[in-house]
Amino acid sequence: MPITARSFGELQTGPVAAFLIEDGEGLAAEVIEYGATLTRLVVPDRKGGGADIVLGFDRLEGYLSTRTYFGATAGRYANRIADARFSLDGASYQLGRNEGRNHLHGGFAGFDKMLWKGEADAARNSVRLLHRSPDGHEGYPGTVEAAVEYRLPGRGRLTIEMTAITDRPTVLNMVNHSYFNLAGHASGDVLRQLAMLDADHYTPVDRELIPTGEIAPVAGTPFDFTSAKAIGRDLGAVEPRSGYDHNWVLRGSGMRLCARAADPLSGLGLELWTTEPGVQFYIGGQLDGSEVGKGGTAYGRHAGFTLETQKFPDAPNRPNFPSSVLRPGESYRHLMEFRFTA
């Protein structure tokens, strides 16, 4: 299928292009160069129509002003780092404190706020976006050459592949931050939708959503999604403020099942496979209706859920967590595959 490009606005640093990828079977994804962001994802339903299932904005201005990270590629280190600092090879690094005293999603000017360079590849039915993050940006060591590829390979699948190299030892955790609503982005909350996470453990957090360092079993807790259940079923027993906004420890290693989700009314479902050790399941508990998105939709509390496959939050400070260190000569590769069903 041909990949079409259009203007999505302009920054002081240059124009922002949007690319539309289609698979010829009803699945379509639009990505923009700003933040290497997934702005639309239309999935065919059992009635022969299609629903856009990701939250987002119609115009660039929405992405410039939001603090939600809708659809963005978050980094250099996505999720949280306690006290916005870490040590590596005997050196200490101070990062931007953009969430209280802590560091979140790469800081004040993370990957989500960068203008990436998009390249369409019709042969692969994909768009590849490139970004060079200089040494010292937001306090991180090393120059990182990063890439994100969005691809529709057919049979109802979307793959997102994040790769990078560095010229100095650094830490890296690139994450896709799409919010999903399987009834359609404008359909209200997701609390009745079903979710399963292929994880027997999770990492508890403190009041600032920083991991305590414990790896705890989910059995007998509201965090048990080993069998599919309504997202909101046990929400009343979850703290802190936003409900589910935690990292689950995925079973196994390599490319394997991470999660399943489904909307009982529309019948639309997804299955997610990943190479990463964890997944941040967040259900939009901090959305409050002030974000007015596509088609004038006000996104209220629990309007979407994320499945951010990742290294663990605060891993640079937790020797018992899987390593997030990237060294010269090594290649970072983070692969996600979404498989949609109706």
What pLDDT, in 10s, does the model give residues 118-176?
999 999 999 999 999 999 999 999 999 999 999 999 999 999 999 999 999 999 999 99
- Least Cα distance to 293 among 113, 16, 51, 63 occurs for 63
Q: Is 131 known to be catalytic?
A: no
Structure-block tokens of residue 131: 């970004």
Fold of 4-341: Beta-galactosidase; Chain A, domain 5 (2.70.98)
Q: In angstroms, how far is the first alpha carbon of the chain from the final one?
A: 22
**Residue 95: per-residue pLDDT:** 98
Q: Where are the alpha helices (DSSP H) in 22-92?
A: 60-65
Specify whether 208 is catalytic.
no
pLDDT < 70 positions in the chain? 240-241
For residues 118 and 125, the answer to whether their CB atoms sit within 8 Å is no
Q: What is the model's pLDDT at position 49? A: 79
- Give the span between the Cα atoms of 137 and 108, in whole angstroms: 10
State the catalytic residue, choosing from 291, 308, 334, 337. Answer: 308
To the question of pTM greater than 0.85 for the whole model, the response is yes
Question: 242 near 205, Cβ under 8 Å?
Answer: no
Please give the pLDDT value at position 48.
72
Out of 103, 105, 177, 302, the active site residue is 177
Host H or E run for residue 62? helix 60-65
